[in-house]
Homo-oligomer: A and B are copies of this chain.
């Protein structure tokens, strides 16, 4: 995508205020990054939420994770972890088995195939390749401060 101000990108000539513009700009930029990432993942046959779950599972490995833990750590808390795990299980990227200690919970574990897939993706998914690196480190820190303040 070529350089564009948010006004041009959504063909809206004016915003009510700098606040309103920032609101739209934030949603738009997030979509932009997510779409870019989805495109990167496509050749590997997984979607962005599936990738995020795999990453959490690698973080736990060799310990298993429960579905609750996945929900807790997912970016989108309201998404449906069970069904994302379904898709990963079909692809043999994770295993799922009832936990003997508490039979309500399920132990989800990343497989060797899952770990190998992530390793392949790691090479491409270096964050120096994301748009974030158009910022200086100081700017990135400032962005973090502003975003945390929005959610206060």
Contact = CB atoms under 8 A, between A and B. Distances in A.
A92 interface: no
A150 B135 contact: yes
B72 A22 contact: no
Interface in A121-136: 127-128, 130-135
A135 to B, nearest CB: 6
18 contacts: A3-B151, A3-B152, A4-B151, A9-B151, A10-B74, A17-B137, A18-B140, A19-B137, A20-B132, A21-B140, A21-B144, A23-B130, A24-B75, A32-B151, A135-B146, A135-B150, A139-B149, A146-B146
Given A9-B151, A143-B143, 16 more contacts: A10-B75, A17-B140, A19-B132, A19-B137, A22-B132, A22-B144, A23-B130, A23-B132, A25-B147, A26-B29, A28-B75, A28-B147, A29-B151, A131-B150, A135-B150, A143-B146
Interface of A: 1, 3-6, 9-12, 16-35, 72-76, 78, 127-128, 130-135, 137, 139-144, 146-152
